Amino acid sequence: MSQLTFARALNAGLRKSLENDPKVILMGEDIGTLGGVFRITDGLQKDFGKHRVVDTPLAESGIIGTAVGLAYRGYRPVCEIQFDGFIYPAFDQIVSQMAKLHYRTMGRVKMPITIRVPFGGGIGSPEHHSESPEAYFTHTSGLRVVSVSNPQDAYTMIQQAIASDDPVLFFEPKRRYHDKGDVDEAKDLAQALSMEKARVVTEGKDVTLVAYGPLVKTAKDAAIAAADEGVAIEVIDLRSLAPIDFPVLEASVRKTGRLVITHEASQSGGLGAEIAASITERCFNYLEASPVRVTGFDVPYPYSKLEMHHLPDLDRILDGVDRTLGRPNSLSGLEG
Amino acid sequence: MLEGAINVLTDEVGPGANSPGGQGNGTTNPLRTGGNLVQLISPAGERINHPEFDVWIKDVSDYQLLSLYEDMVVIRRIDTEATALQRQGELALWPPLLGQEASQIGSVRAIRSDDFIFPSYRESGVAYCRGAELGEIIRPWRGNALYGWDPHRINMATPQIVIGSQTLHATGYAMGIQNDGADIVAFSYLGDGATSEGDVNEAMVFAASYQVPLVFFCQNNHWAISEPVRLQSRVQLADRATGFGIPSMRVDGNDVLAVMAASRIGLDRARKGGGPTFIEAVTYRMGPHTTADDPTRYRDANELEDWAAKDPIVRLKSLLSVKGLLGEEAQASVQAKADSVARELRDACATMPDPAPLDVFNHVYSTPHSWIDHQKDHYSRYLASFGGSSQEGAL
């Protein structure tokens, strides 16, 4: 067991995948000589060569489109999209090609491609560097979408994503890159929790709070704060955004009867809506209150001096928790 | 202003086409080989000498020339039959290849069986020569599946409908070949409209930067549905490639020998580590874009007549006849082959099994997926509520 930052844990996971499978190829802008703008691939080109860790031209569709061709050839590409807001030029290759080829060819052609996306805000960046585009991809059949929240998961789940024969969108919370945590590098991948499974990270009996990626830490902090007031929040780290591990959520909601979902992405048409609808369908009779979403607003990602208003924080999450509990909250008197 | 500006391009083929006119005269561009328009068989069926290109087809025997002719007649017959099947309601749609037989046959017959082809959606003739079964060729157009053949069986990807996307796949595949140190080549078909797509331009950047073993084979058939090629480019398409540092050729796409020579040049360069090549095969889409299209709304009948005079099959037939290779018996044999293939195509269509309702859920993922399983289970119960037999098909 060692203490690693999120960034180093990802680096170690990528290294392990490169060592274990000669068909694994890393590709992206600035990932080679520079080691990536966040240094996630630091040192890998030096150790594995320019044909395993490939600096690409500045063309996101080109990165994913050539990865599709490499997958046709039997490779297992791992693409880095430098920032969340730069994934859109690759949208067509992701949605129309990578996601559909297995279905199109009835399984004759596999697309074991992982796309790493540093995502989310909170780092004071200019436009296009703080977005949360995951719902575009969870809405796309053929993709698996995951988001990691801690160094240990970063280390194991990147390897699981790369080993998957399906394409995986891998969302990394860039504002947590420097957070440290225990990482067991000797952990057997087969024994590790599947990347498809949600995890209860804080047990509680009063309210289920679902988060993923950067907000898992915020959610855990909220649970600690609520405990002081005698409210036991059960925090669930979703981990897999598509498919969502509904059985874990259902079990929790059947216990608590209350559901709060939080994400940085805009509210409407987002994952919170999907979770609220599905849980309502699946355990309506157990719900004591309507599900509540605490999310980014339906605005373009704002300028950095306002991002703290856009991003759900501990207090906004607790306000949402109060709503499900019928305790005094910011909307008291407004809703039924 | 714009109208005048885009007329700069001259895109004629045939007599006079070699005269300088418009931009992109190949003689001044060091990356352009062969001159402005390489032609080895004239529209009248005369063999034209071209020392630089002749060496690449000098091994083509009389028998092989006849075989190329048979290929072209057969794929035209496939096209006619498939078009008829669409008119009869047996196919939902069909993209005709009429007029592009020399481009398809000249290229595919130059490609090795272990090379890998990335087609657009119109390369049915290429697929046939590659060994795709006739039922496989029409299956997606009948709506019985999204694909026809197994790409790994015939080393050819499934038809690509998003314009130009396949050029990036071909480039990536070629990057893989390069990593593997294999002596095979990726061969990507595209059309004139595709050259405007970002993906094609990105493919050329990647292919040039990494010097991958790849041939871009652009069939300039002059029309992207209703849009003429001059709307896509102010310069000859072959000159676009040289701007990326990719050597290019511009050949008469209705001349099977010129196409074969150019393809071999590109394939040979790629195989020897010389990087990508771009070939513009200047041809003409004599039919509609698809059976849903009506070209009389956007192009002159005169233009079609001009191109009918440059028909790829007619000119090869003339050449073969002059050489004494196409007597009555040989012609009858070719026709019999074409008719037999057409019958086989019709039979394959009639006997194609329909998919079963629950097949809709199959193969979305390579391993189980809880959402799909959940929906499949529920829809299965829904179907079962009507009674009846199994909803699982063979696919």
For the stretch B172-206, pLDDT in tens is 999 999 999 999 999 999 999 999 999 999 999 99
Distance, CA of A80 to CA of A116 (rounded, Å): 5
The architecture (CATH level 2) of A199-325 comes to 3-Layer(aba) Sandwich (3.40)
Smallest CA-to-CA distance from A123 within A43, A44, A37 is with A37
- Residues on chain B bordering chain A, Cβ-to-Cβ distance under 8 angstroms: 116, 118, 145-147, 150-152, 157-158, 162, 165, 167-180, 186, 198-199, 202-203, 205-206, 209, 362-367, 369-371, 395
What confidence score (pLDDT) does residue B395 get? 56
| CB proximity list for B271: less than 8 A, separation 6 or greater | B183, B184, B185, B213
What confidence score (pLDDT) does residue B393 get? 59
What confidence score (pLDDT) does residue B5 get? 36
- Give domain limits for chain B: 54-350, 364-395
> Does the pLDDT value for residue A310 go beyond 60?
yes
CA distance B264 to chain A (A): 23
Strands (E), chain A: 2-5, 24-28, 53-55, 76-80, 114-119, 144-147, 168-173, 180-183, 199-202, 207-211, 233-237, 240-242, 259-266, 292-296
The pLDDT confidence band at residue A90, using thresholds 50, 70 and 90, is very high
- From chain A, pick out residues whose CB is under 8 angstroms from the CB of B180: 73
> Does the pLDDT value for residue A316 go beyond 50?
yes
- From chain A, pick out residues whose CB is under 8 angstroms from the CB of B206: 56-57, 59, 62, 66
The pLDDT confidence band at residue A224, using thresholds 50, 70 and 90, is very high
pTM of the predicted protein model: 0.94
The architecture (CATH level 2) of A2-191 comes to 3-Layer(aba) Sandwich (3.40)
> Strands B277-282, B214-220: parallel, antiparallel or unpaired by DSSP?
parallel
> Strands B186-191, A292-296: parallel, antiparallel or unpaired by DSSP?
unpaired
- Give domain limits for chain A: 2-191, 199-325
Q: How many beta carbons lie within 10 A of that of residue A81, not counting itself?
A: 24
The pLDDT confidence band at residue A49, using thresholds 50, 70 and 90, is very high
Catalytic pick from B298, B369, B374, B382? B298
What ipTM is given for this predicted complex? 0.96
| Annotation says B289 is catalytic | yes
Question: B172, A56: Cβ pair inside 8 Å?
Answer: no
**pLDDT block averages, 10 residues each, chain B of length 395:** 37 39 53 93 97 97 97 98 98 97 98 98 98 97 95 97 98 98 98 98 98 98 96 95 97 98 98 98 97 95 95 97 94 97 98 96 97 96 83 58
Indicate the CATH number of B54-350 among 3.30.1330.40, 3.40.50.970, 3.40.50.1110, 3.20.20.10: 3.40.50.970
Distance, CA of A19 to CA of A28 (rounded, Å): 19
Question: B169, A164: Cβ pair inside 8 Å?
Answer: no
Type of residue at B336: A
- Over residues A110-163, the pLDDT tens digits come to 999 999 999 999 999 999 999 999 999 999 999 999 999 999 999 999 999 999
Smallest CA-to-CA distance from B81 within B347, B359, B355, B371 is with B347
- Over residues B256-295, the pLDDT tens digits come to 999 999 999 999 999 999 999 999 999 999 999 999 999 9
Type of residue at A301: Y
Distances (CA, A) of A311 to A171, A324, B345: 17, 20, 60
> Touching check for A30 and chain B: CB below 8 Å?
no
For A:166-195, CB contacts with B below 8 A are 166
Distance, CA of B9 to CA of B11 (rounded, Å): 6
What confidence score (pLDDT) does residue B27 get? 53
Q: Decide: A306 and A218 in contact? Cβ < 8 Å.
A: no
Question: B203, A105: Cβ pair inside 8 Å?
Answer: no
Q: Decide: B220 and B281 in contact? Cβ < 8 Å.
A: yes
CA B309 to chain centre: 21
SS percent in chain B: helix, strand, coil, step 5? 50, 10, 40
Question: A69, B169: Cβ pair inside 8 Å?
Answer: yes
Question: A108, B147: Cβ pair inside 8 Å?
Answer: yes
Type of residue at B203: A
